[in-house]
Copies of this chain bind each other. A is one copy, B any other.
Amino acid sequence: MDFAFHTVAVSGAARAGLLETAHGPVETPTFMPLATTGTVKAMTADAVRETGARIVLGNTYHLMLRPGAERVAAFGGLHRLMDWPGPILTDSGGFQVMSLAKLRTLDRDGVTFQSHLDGSTHRLTPARSVEIQHQLDATISMVLDECTPFPATEEEARRSMELSLRWAARSKEAFRQRPGYGLFGIVQGSVFPELRAASAEALVGIGFDGYAVGGLAVGEGQAAMFAVLDATVPGLPGGAPRYLMGVGTPDDLIGAVQRGIDMFDCVIPTRAGRTARAYTSRGVFNLRNARFADDVGPLDPTCRCPACTRHCCGYLHHLFKAGEMLGPMLLTWHNLTYYHDLMQGLRAAIVAGRLDEHAAALRAGWKTEDAP
C-alpha cells in the first residue's frame, strides 16, 4: 500500500479526498481526535471508532517521557498498545517542548529541555524526533519545527521559519520510507504572507508526503488565520494532503475547508466534552447550566451519538453536577461525533457542488448567543 492522496471532488479551493495509508483509508476533510498520551481522553478505542473517526493524533513529547518511546516499541507500537489499528499521526514534540517543558535551550541543531513530569533532561533533534515517531510506529510523522511565537516581528519570524526549514530537511533525511507511511512538512512564517509563501516553496522543494500549516491558533484571530491560508495553500501541491495544525472551532474548520485544508486536530471537542461544553447543530451549550436540570429533550435531535439518542439533557446535567465520569465520557463522545459528522457533511457538500450553501446553512443553525 502506497501512501497516497486522491482528490475525489473539488469545490472552489475545497477538496473531497481519500488518504490511503498502511493502516487503512481516511476520507477527507477529516478531524483527528487527540490521543495525546495514547488514549483519547474519556473514550475507549471502540467508542472513538463509533464516532466515525478514522485517524487519531499521538503526542511525541508526552509519549517519549511516559511510557517512553522504547517501551512503546517493545509493546509493538502505539496502534497495538491502544487498540487502534487505524492510522495514527504523531506530532514532532516541538510544540509541547515550548509550551510544557522546563528550562528549554534552543540551538541550531535541536532543543534541550527538562521533563515537566520529573525534571529529567532530554534532547530533541530533527533526527531524534523522527526516530521516536518511528518507534511509536506513527503512520504519519511530522518534521521537527519551531512553532514561531506570536506576535513576532518579520525578522524574528524569518529566522524562526528558516530554522524550521533546516530542521525539515534533516527530518526528511532521517525518515525511513516504508510503504503506506508518510512524513509531512510544516509551513511556518507567522502572519507574513511572503514568509509563508517562501516556506511553502522551500518545503515543496524538499518534497514531503503532505504539508501542514503550523504556527496558527496562537492568538492571531480567525481573520489573520484565514489570510495566512489564502497566502499559503496556493503554493502547496494539489496532489498532497494539507493539514491545519491545532485548529479549531466548527466555524474555523468550515472556513479552512473552504480554503483547501483536508486535515485538522484540536483539543476543543475532547476538552470541551470534559468541561460540560457541547458543540451541536444549534450552537454551543454548557450542560452545567441550570436551565438543563429539567430538560427531558435530547442534546441534539440530529445527532446519532449515545448521549443524544439514549439520554436527555437533564441526565447529562445531573451527571456533571454529581461529578460523575459518565458526563465527560458521553459529552466527549458527542463532541467527537459532531466534529466527525461536520467533516462528512462538508465532504458530501463538496461532492454535491454546494459547499457554500451548506456552510451557510450550518452557520445559520447556530442559534445560541454562545455560538461556536
Contact = CB atoms under 8 A, between A and B. Distances in A.
A314 B83 contact: no
Contact of A328 (B66, B296, B325, B330): B325
Nearest to A319: B39
A315 interface: yes
A71 interface: yes
Given A66-B321, A315-B81, A329-B325, A294 B71 contact: yes
A258 to B, nearest CB: 35
Copies in the assembly, this chain: 2
Interface stretch (A42-50, A125-133, A147-155, A214-222): A42-50
A44 B74 contact: no
Contact of A318 (B45, B46, B66, B296): B66
A314 B39 contact: no
Contacts of A296: 74-76
A324 interface: yes
A296 B310 CA distance: 36
Nearest to A333: B44
Contacts of A317: 67
A312 interface: yes
Nearest to A332: B325
B44 A329 contact: yes
Contacts of A82: 311, 315
A219 B253 CA distance: 58
B81 A325 contact: no
Interface in A45-81: 45-46, 62, 66-67, 71, 74-76, 81
Interface of A: 37-39, 41-46, 62, 66-67, 71, 74-76, 81-83, 293-294, 296, 306, 310-312, 314-315, 317-319, 321-322, 324-326, 328-330
